[in-house]
Amino acid sequence: MYSQISSAVVSGLDIIPVTVETDMSDGLPQFTMVGYVSAQVREAEDRIRTAFRNSNIELPVKRVTINISPADIRKNGSFYDLPIALSLLASAGLIPPHSLDGVMAVGELSLSGNINSVRGALPVASAALSSGIRTLILPAANLAEARAIRRLSSVGIRTLNEAVGFLRHGKTAEDADCFTAAGPAAADTGDEDFSEVRGQQTARRAAEIAVSGFHNLILAGVPGAGKTMLAKRVPSILPSLTEKECLEISTIYSIAGLLDPAHPMIRRRPFRSPHHTASPQALAGGGQVPRPGEITLAHRGVLFLDELPEFSRKSLEILRQPLEEREIVISRASGCFRFPANFLLLAAMNHCPCGQFPDRNRCTCSPWDIRAYTARISKALMDRIDLWVECPAVSYADLLTDNKPAESSADIRLRVEAVRLREAERFRGTPFHFNSEIPPGSIRQFCEMDSEAEIRLSRMYDSCHLSARSCHRVLKVARTIADMDGSDVIHGIHIDEALTFRTPEKSPNEDDTGFRYQHITAWTDT
């Protein structure tokens, strides 16, 4: 007897519907599986046979042929245990064959007959709805993920016998014991607050600009100045997510296997902080079956790299393409995989290995050591940084004797959300979300300048040796600063402030390290 059921294959972040076909006929007992399947999928035969025996299900001794189509797509993993088992049961007449019509199934079988969770349940449910599937059968542990797609009937099961009972008797979500309800919304974890940061007014201002327009930011200075402390408080002022962004981020984390089963929809922007020993593959993603790396896991959120020069040069150069293209492409013999990578790069660094430069009375590093340390960050990467901030040591007065409370994260976030609303209105009907995403061809359209701003930018273009990319980034930062002032037009003062945050210029004749560190006047609220 012939039967079929729908399933899916995960290819990068794409979900491709597949069909599991089973034919059971007379002949010498044999179990054949075709359809460009990997060794992992072929192992399903042993798991299914043992699970049937431990679930008191007997199959007739027949010749079994299983095909997973289309045959030109590689099938990996244990996604197909459950659909193969259900298709076998239908071919053997143990469940009605018509019960599989309009049904998609995914799940891994254990030897006991239990159904184990799988990765990617959320995008599978979305793909099932788009394919016209009426019912999705999946592990109970993944049900909360699938329930996020509300227009799809999702059935969570714990054992093979529960799946058989559902298909035989047509139980509904309300009366089947195998259903579980989605958990409550994730509770607020209580971010560390900006009110705890003392001094560093310039860095606080830069952080607000960076978050408002999603501009890349580097905090540089001596150890103990509060760079990491400030960076870890950035999540408390990030703008809220739209529903589309929530689904986008949750899909990535579902495929990576990082979703909380009880809270399957991520409602807060991610903040990823990999250690400086992270390999290029850990950042970019990859593997035989490519999966998202830290760059993609930071999509629509923040990628924080502490001790930036301590990362390997190879790892840092990985960032160049995604910072510009906002996606990362991984090429394998099996295909080309595209992962989204629209993130805010936030980094902290010292100027030398000991951390005390430019104080030559305390710095013990040789000029060669300093040059080699900073040279780990290429000019091409630095050119993609919108904001560079020097963080000096905090004075005793700011640290302990100033009783005036610093501005809280809640107050800053109100201003950030106001800018976010201006950006949403400006980019209505476009694929852009933040000012940092404005492409070169749309700079003139969205970054209108008055005559004073035009004059100042044209003068600084040559004197500061700006590249075309740097010039565009200065304009986009100025656009955000103008939004923070409630101005539709970029004025000269906005250009001036944007230029104060440009990266330090390399000039081998300026000092023995090969760098000239520009003085940045602290911004104060006047």
Per-residue pLDDT of 253-295, as tens digits, reads 999 999 887 788 999 999 999 999 999 999 998 877 788 999 9
Token code pair at residue 44: 């399903």
Does the pLDDT at position 154 exceed 60?
yes
Beta bridge partners of 505: 516
Does the pLDDT at position 183 exceed 90?
no
Predicted local distance difference test score (pLDDT) of residue 393 = 87
Q: Is 286 left (phi over 0), alpha (psi -120 to 50) or beta?
A: left
Predicted local distance difference test score (pLDDT) of residue 336 = 84
Q: How confident is residue 180, by pLDDT bands cut at 50, 70 and 90?
A: very low
The arithmetic mean of pLDDT across residues 144-155, rounded, is: 90
Does the pLDDT at position 87 exceed 90?
yes
The arithmetic mean of pLDDT across residues 389-399, rounded, is: 85
358 cis-preceded (ω within 30 degrees of 0):
yes
Please calculate the CA angle 96-101-102 and round it to the nearest 5 degrees.
145
Per-residue pLDDT of 414-455, as tens digits, reads 999 999 999 999 999 999 999 999 999 999 999 999 999 999
Q: How confident is residue 319, by pLDDT bands cut at 50, 70 and 90?
A: very high
Predicted local distance difference test score (pLDDT) of residue 59 = 87
Token code pair at residue 353: 């290995």
Cα 116 to the chain's mean position, in Å?
25
Beta bridge partners of 335: 332
Q: How confident is residue 514, by pLDDT bands cut at 50, 70 and 90?
A: very low
Predicted local distance difference test score (pLDDT) of residue 427 = 95
Q: What is the pTM of this model?
A: 0.88
Q: How confident is residue 191, by pLDDT bands cut at 50, 70 and 90?
A: low
Q: Regarding predicted confidence, which is higher, 19 or 261? A: 19
CB count in 10 Å sphere of residue 392: 14
Does the pLDDT at position 509 exceed 70?
no
Does the pLDDT at position 511 exceed 50?
no
Domains and CATH numbers, the chain: 2-169 (3.30.230.10), 194-516 (3.40.50.300)
Q: Is 294 left (phi over 0), alpha (psi -120 to 50) or beta?
A: alpha
Predicted local distance difference test score (pLDDT) of residue 467 = 87
Predicted local distance difference test score (pLDDT) of residue 506 = 46
User: Which residues, including other chains, have CB under 8 Å from residue 397's CB and lie 6 or more apart?
Assistant: none
Q: How confident is residue 158, by pLDDT bands cut at 50, 70 and 90?
A: very high
Predicted local distance difference test score (pLDDT) of residue 523 = 40
Tell me the pLDDT of the chain averaged across its residues.
Answer: 87
User: Which residues, including other chains, have CB under 8 Å from residue 119's CB and lie 6 or more apart?
Assistant: 10, 254, 255, 256, 257
Nearest to 299 by CA among 248, 241, 337, 260: 248
Q: Output 463-467 pairs: Cβ under 8 A, ≥24 positions apart.
A: 464/499, 464/502, 464/505, 465/505, 466/502, 467/383
State how far the Cα of 263 lies from the Cα of 516, in Å rounded to an integer.
49
Amino acid symbol at 509: N
Nearest to 224 by CA among 460, 392, 439: 392
Q: How confident is residue 100, by pLDDT bands cut at 50, 70 and 90?
A: very high
Q: Output 449-457 pairs: Cβ under 8 A, ≥24 positions apart.
A: 449/475, 449/478, 449/489, 449/490, 449/491, 449/495, 450/489, 450/490, 450/491, 450/492, 452/491, 452/492, 453/478, 453/490, 453/491, 453/492, 453/494, 453/495, 455/492, 456/492, 456/495, 456/496, 457/495
State how far the Cα of 32 lies from the Cα of 23, in Å rounded to an integer.
10
